[in-house]
Amino acid sequence: MKTRKINFWAFAALLAAIIALLNAITAEIGARHNLQIDLTSRAVYRLDRQTAETLEKLDAPVEVFVLAVRRNFAGSPYMAQALNVIEQYPRLSPHVKLTFVDFAADPAFASRFPGAKLETGGILVVCEERIYFKYQHWVGAGARYAGWQRISKH
């Protein structure tokens, strides 16, 4: 009886070690090859094919500034989804640099873009001499209007 107990715990420990090893190997392979699985019914964590192809074909440096603190994306499932999607951009193109900026705490950042009406939660995209700012305006109970503003680089 005592031998069976020891065999059971030895088997359980071996099984746990194998599972941990497989998990580590899978994570390493996924990190090296940008593998990601989206099991949601509407693939809400996956970029569409056209966006992925555009990112892969980039040949000029693109800077994406998210005007928010990264930890603020943990508040809701929608924000976690947005964070997951935007973090795929630099994984799909070595030309994309993603930076989170607390521009309210860094007034020097906003001064780099005179004439732009930057606001928290916006996204600033800089590619060569072109600068675009995505802004959002909240209207009423949760309805939002979003658009892009082109800004000339000075």
Residue 57 lies in domain: 49-152
Q: Are residues 26 and 94 in the same domain?
A: no
The pLDDT value given to residue 98: 94
Number of domains comprising the chain: 2
Tell whether pTM > 0.75. no
Can you give the pLDDT at residue 71?
84
Question: Is residue 4 assigned to a domain?
Answer: yes
On whether both 73 and 6 belong to a single domain, the answer is no
Asked if residue 23 belongs to a domain, the reply is yes
Task: List, run by run, the mean pLDDT of 10-residue segments along the chain (154 residues).
Answer: 73 89 78 59 68 87 89 78 85 92 84 80 82 60 57 57
Give the β-pairing of 123-127 and 62-66: antiparallel
- Residue 136 has a pLDDT of 59
Residues 130 and 64 in one domain: yes
Choose among 117, 112, 144: nearest CA to 133. 117
Based on the fold, state whether residues 78 and 106 are members of the same structural domain.
yes
Model pLDDT, residue 138: 46
The pLDDT of residue 42: 60
